[in-house]
Every structure is written in C-alpha cells, then in structure tokens.
Structure 1
Amino acid sequence: MQGESNHKLAIRNVRIFDGHTITAPTTVVIDGTVIGTDPVGAEHLDADGAILIPGLIDAHIHLDSPHALDTYAAHGVTTALDMGSVDTALIEQARARTATTTLRCAGAPIIGSVGVHAHVPGIAEVGIIRHPDDAEAMVAHRVSTGSDYIKLILEAPGEGGPDADTTKAVVTAAHARGLTVVAHTSTPGAYAMAIDAGVDALTHVPIGARLPAADIDRLATGAHVVIPTLVMMEGVADIHGVAQYFPASLKTVGVLHAAGVPILAGTDANQMTGIPVHPPHGASLHHELELLVRAGLTPADALNAATTLPARHFGLTDRGAIAPGLRADLVLLDADPLADITATRAIRKIWCAGTEHAPAQTLSA
C-alpha cells in the first residue's frame, strides 16, 4: 500500500469496461478518493491503451485478519462481503482500516441446533435459533452490533437447519429493518426453503444435484440472486472424491444465468477451523471468474458479477462502475478481459478509494 491519497491523477489514453464493452481511449480522473471530471492540476499517467475496470467485489468471504484486506487490495478486490463472523473485535478492526479494501459483514450467522455448522467453533454460542419467536431478538442483536445484512444457514428439511417457520420469521424481521438476507443453500431442499421464505441471496450451488425447474422459475421471477461460490464447491467436490459431479454444478449456474437469475461472484475464501476447503483471499476471485465463464457466462457477465451486480444487490451505491462521483476503486489491466477472462490477473495498477496498491506478485505467476 502506498499511503492514503488526496491528490489528483488523470489517467490518459485508457480504455474503460463500461459494463458491456471496452470503450475507445479516454481520460479518467482520480480526484482524492472519488472519480472526478476535471484534469486541471492533475498528475498525468499515460495508460498506453490499457484497460480500466471497476474494483472487484468478492460477495462471499470470511475474514481472519484485518491485514487480509491488503491481500484483497493487492489482487484488485476492493470490496469484500463477509458472510459470517463471530469475532466482533476483528470486524471492528477491519472496518476501522482506511485506504484499503472495504469490508461489509453479516456478523454472526443464524443456524439450527444440529448439523455440521453447529460444530464450527464459536458459532453455536451466538447463532443457534430454536423457535420463530426468537427471530426478532436475534435480528435486533445483529443490528445493534453493526451487521450490514443477515446470514442464515439453511439445510434441507430435517437436516439440522432452522425450520420453515423460523426461517420465515428471520426473513420477516430482517426485511422490516430494510436488511438483505443471505442464506447458505448447498442442496435443492435448502434452495426451496430459502425461496419459500423470501430470502434475497442464496449462496453456494449444489454439487451434482439438479435444481427443480419450478424452483429455477421461482428464482428468476422473484427478487433473488445466487452467489454460487464455484471455487468452494470445486474444492469440496475434490476433497470428497466426487470431482466428476462438479460439471453438474457448472451447468446449474449456466441454467440459472440463462433463466435470468442474477449471478454474483463470491469465493467463500476463509482460513476457518472446521471448514475443509480454504480458498485464498483475493486470488480465488480470479479463479471464480474463470469458472463462471466455464459455466456459460460471457466474460462481460462475469465481470458484472464481480462489480455492478453485487454493488446493486447489496446497496453499495458508491461503487461497482466507473463514473464521476463514485469511489475511485479501480484496476488497470494490461490485457483485455472480454477476450480472455484470465486477463483480470494481468494487473498493472490498483486503486482503493484513490490510494494506489501494488499488485500481488502471484498474479503474474
């Protein structure tokens, strides 16, 4: 990290990813922490035709250290959405950091009393919900501790997650406060429960199991988004010796996308005890983009899955695109990601709210 910036920089001869295509060469002004319009008095940088994309957003992580935010920044991931943490001190320290990747957080997830997630250290004490009448207090507690959205851990009926009535009560309590609800859904049964309850974002995609066509239709016609975390599901399939089923997960994502369900890029990056797969912070989002393209998204769709769409669906109105007045969260690439999505690794420069970060050396490896 180069230090917090208040100066003005005009990036000349740069081509912009505008959400659809790559524009003709133009000038983009970084004015302090935001994108400006007036190059007068600015330092000039000739990009020589390089491509500027919005800072990437990882829509599913689990932070283990405040300094991991700098790792995200060095990989061009300028916003990270934590999907469950019981370490309030860690989150407070991470939120207090400036001039690096921005963190949003769900706080402690809400879980059932049995099942695999009840055994993750630290979660049971704060996360178990036993009755619909507990929903109001649990959501209110998360609001009081600064949660930006609510995370539910859902399982298929009878497999240890909150039951249907309790799930609905949590969603109702959260929506009454204007909060988005994200649900862990790794099986078709959990998907059905989440859709029934009106969950906003469903994260993970089943391995090998198809989603019923009726549920895909309900996802497409309702206000739902899916964060498939293909990096995580690929890792789970590998360690359980069922890698041959992972292509079905890719196909599911392609079907959801073709049906019109918004797909968001998230990795489930973590270093958590009790979780068998640990996608690396920052670097794994680039692999997620590649897997999304394998699943059937165009490179432009994949870039939008990590920029405009998570910004829109998580209320991040100050980022996700390159336009005057938005945060200067920017990534300068030496190659065209619309021609080859792996070009997101060809990073020349990175800015988090106008502060320049050096790219990670592993990106060019």
Structure 2
Amino acid sequence: MMLSSFFVLMAVAWPAVLACQQHVQRDAASLARRTIVKEPESVILKNVRVFDGIARLPPSTVYLSSGLIVPFLSPHANATVIDGAGQDLTLLPGFFDAHAHPETTADLLSFARNGVTTVMDMACSTRAECLALVREHADDGLPSVFVSGATATVPGSANANLPGFPANETIATGTREEIDSWVQSQLDKGASYIKLIQDRPGQLQLSPEEVQTLVNASASRGLQTNCHVAAYDSVGIAVEAGVSMVHHLPFDKSIDADLAHSAKRAGTISVPTLTMMRAFGAILAPGMYDIALESVRTLREADVPILAGTDANAVNKLGIPIATLPPPISFGPSLHDELANLVEAGLTPLEALRSATVLPSLHFGLTPDRGAVLPGLRADLVLVEGDPTKDISVTRNIRKVWIGGVEVV
C-alpha cells in the first residue's frame, strides 16, 4: 500500500473509528494501576508545528477527546489548552519500537515517558510475561504491546538453550504437518506474529526448506514472519522464503545491492536495530557497526522500508554471558539513539521519523488506527521542543506524551 493510500484510507475510516470506540469498564486492580497516569481528557493544542507522519506542517491546532484525535471540539468543551505561540514546539505521532523485549510495568513506563507508545515485543523470557503486559495494561495509558509467539527454532540451537525457553516449543522434525501445527498453536496462544531464527551458517537451526514452510503456514493464517538474522547468508535465506521482516543485520559482511534489491522485490522489510549492532560491536568487533551502517545505506538506496527497532532488553537478570546475548539496552531512551543512528546511516530526519511512526503502523497492519496525526486516530502523541524534522536529536526534548489520550506523568 502506498503512503498516499494510507491517508485516503484513514480519512474515509475515521468516522467509523469514532463510532466503534469502546469504553472498557475497568476493575479495581486496573484502577489501582492508574496511579502513574491520568484519565483521558479533552485537549486543544494551538500554534504547534505538526509532523503528521509524512511531512512537516506549519503551526496548526489539534484537538483530543475521548482518547482520539478529533476534527474539532465544542467551544463549550472543558478542554485543557496548550498554546505553543512564542514557543518552538512540534507535535508528532507516538513512536513505535519495532523490536523490543519489555517484561514489566516499569519497562512500559520507561517507554511511555520517552514517547514510545507502541511496542512490538519480539520474545519474553516466558510467554506469560508477554501476554500479561498485553492484558493487564491494554487500557492503562501505557504503551500498546504486541507479542510474538515462541521463537521458531530447533532443539539444541543457541536460542533453544537459553534459560526459560520451553522445551516443548521447538520444531523437532520439520515436517509440514508439525510446522503447520506449531504455527496454529502460536496463534491460539495469542501471538500477533511469528518470530524465527536464522543464525550463522553451520549453527543448529531451521533449514531453508523449513523456513519456507513456516512462512507459508504463517501467511495462510494472516500472520507476519519476523526473522532474526546474524549473517549475510541468513538474510538471503529469509528473503528467498519471503519473510515479512528481517531483524538485525549481518555480522560478517554488508548487505550488497543484489541482496537489497531481492529484499525489495520480495517485499521484505528491514528492522536493522542499529543500537544493538553498535553495542555488540563495541564488545565483540569494532568493525561490526560500520558493516551495519553500510547495510542500511544499501537498503535505503534499494528503497527497502526501514523501521526503527532497538532490541531493548534487560538480559542481565538472566545471568547469561554477554557474548551470548545483546548487552542491556534501555527501554525508551534507546529509541532516540536508534533514530540518531539511522540518520548517521544516511536517512534524513524525516525518513527516520517515518521509520518510527507511519511506516511501522503501516507494515504491522495497524492502520487506520495510529502512526499519524489525523482525526479519527488514537491520540498517541508526543510534544517536543524544537524541530526534529531538521535535527533528529530534538526527539529527546519531550514536553508531553499522550497514550490513548491519557497524559503520561
């Protein structure tokens, strides 16, 4: 779908979104958790520059009500007015982190206070922790969390040997029937998409044929496939199979033009996680980050969509050697690091902002719901001081954050 079609779709759909807005009855436990936020309120933001998800707009007025961006408010509405006149303020869609591993309310609050309003969780220590974040905080004014199922891998692989990995969740025989059943079981347990692993050549992992079968089984159920990659060859296997997204970048050599154009033809999207690549490179191999930067430049030149993801995690609690897992990466602040890294890799500030707003919304299938500043969409918004369309570091200058119209405090 072209971006222009995205906006046409949202313009048509916003009345239906308004009509379908649900007011969920919260139980006492949910209300108790709301000590960190306030209820949704009506807000008028006047004279604020707007990045609408695509472009920088001149100073405008934006209205919030009942958790949504709305086209207007009654003059008699009891609204909070924020007037940006004389101030250098920019309103943006709430940010996505397209690859993270939150497991606690504190993780989500850290995301929220840094303007991250939607999190794509790419595996928890246990599925129960992942699903608890979705179920317990869906209406708390904390970030929306979407989760993968168990990671698709084989018995004895590096991932299967991690503490807490359920032994009964591996793909043992690799038959079409087993893989089909495995994918269905992830969907039944609440997966929003499927994650799989393609490690370095020679490692215990799914074969190219098994990857293809997994992609087909997922697609037949409307599930995207998100493939962890660690080497040039693993990217090639993922692209050949038609995975939806590749996460991370090769450690051994940069993606070249041929592979990048193959990814473009296959419709495969890149989530480079440069923040993780930089952190890993500083520990293991100084040249690793330069290889990653070159890969992103090549992918951009091939017009492969690039999404901002950080690999934010708290692996220290597992007691695993740092060479086995990524170093700890912060929940929230790292998203701003990722935007800066993407600009260093050659994206313009506008392109970097799109990678964390409209593009993940579009490619994760969350439109018309969020990712832009338009009437009818969720009031997931970030107000910053300065103009991040010119200077990406400005995204750190956060004045206010709203999630579903709830102001984060």
Tell me which interval the TM-score lies in, with the shorter structure as reference length.
Answer: over 0.9
The CA distance in 1 between the partners of 2:382 and 2:72, in whole Å, is 20
- Structure 1 pair 126–319 and aligned structure 2 pair: CA distance change class (3 A): farther
Aligned to 1:246: 289
Q: How does 1:134-173 map to 2 (within 5 A)?
A: 134-173=178-217
How many residues in Structure 1 have an aligned counterpart in Structure 2?
A: 357
TM-superposed deviation, 1:2: 5.3
Aligned to 2:7: none
3-state SS of the aligned residue for 1:263?
coil
1:213 and 2:257 are equivalent in the alignment: yes
Could you tell me whether the CA contact under 8 Å between 1:112 and 1:153 is conserved in 2? no
Could you tell me whether the CA contact under 8 Å between 1:113 and 1:124 is conserved in 2? no
The CA distance in 1 between the partners of 2:148 and 2:169, in whole Å, is 12
* Correspondence for 1:265 among 297, 308, 320: 308
TM-superposed deviation, 1:311: 0.5
TM-superposed deviation, 1:67: 2.9
Could you tell me whether the CA contact under 8 Å between 2:269 and 2:305 is conserved in 1? yes
Aligned to 1:316: 366
The CA distance in 2 between the partners of 1:20 and 1:181, in whole Å, is 26
1:290 and 2:340 are equivalent in the alignment: yes
1:129 and 2:129 are equivalent in the alignment: no
Could you tell me whether the CA contact under 8 Å between 2:336 and 2:395 is conserved in 1? yes
- Structure 1 pair 212–22 and aligned structure 2 pair: CA distance change class (3 A): closer
The CA distance in 2 between the partners of 1:156 and 1:67, in whole Å, is 34
Could you tell me whether the CA contact under 8 Å between 1:156 and 1:193 is conserved in 2? no
* Correspondence for 1:43 among 74, 80, 94: 80
Aligned to 2:131: 92
* Superposed CA offset, 1:260-286 (max 9, x none): 000000000111223241111111010
Segment of structure 1 superposing worse, 215-224 or 289-298? 215-224
Could you tell me whether the CA contact under 8 Å between 1:5 and 1:32 is conserved in 2? no
- Code of the residue aligned with 1:321 in structure 2: it is A
Aligned to 1:17: 51
The CA distance in 1 between the partners of 2:38 and 2:224, in whole Å, is 31
1:195 and 2:239 are equivalent in the alignment: yes
Aligned to 1:232: 276
3-state SS of the aligned residue for 1:326?
coil
Segment of structure 1 superposing worse, 106-115 or 147-156? 106-115
- Structure 1 pair 30–36 and aligned structure 2 pair: CA distance change class (3 A): same
* Percent of aligned pairs sharing the same letter: 35
Aligned to 2:354: 304
Gaps of 5+ in 2: 1-34
* Superposed CA offset, 1:150-185 (max 9, x none): 000112443221011111111111100001100001
- Code of the residue aligned with 2:80 in structure 1: it is E
Could you tell me whether the CA contact under 8 Å between 1:61 and 1:80 is conserved in 2? yes
TM-superposed deviation, 1:245: 3.3
* Superposed CA offset, 1:51-75 (max 9, x none): 0010000000012213311110000
Could you tell me whether the CA contact under 8 Å between 1:108 and 1:126 is conserved in 2? no
User: Over the residues paired in the alignment, what is the CA RMSD in angstroms?
Assistant: 1.5
1:54 and 2:96 are equivalent in the alignment: no
The CA distance in 1 between the partners of 2:121 and 2:130, in whole Å, is 9
Could you tell me whether the CA contact under 8 Å between 2:94 and 2:116 is conserved in 1? yes
Aligned to 1:83: 122
Aligned to 1:66: 105
3-state SS of the aligned residue for 1:202?
strand
3-state SS of the aligned residue for 1:161?
coil
- Code of the residue aligned with 2:56 in structure 1: it is I
Could you tell me whether the CA contact under 8 Å between 1:210 and 1:248 is conserved in 2? yes
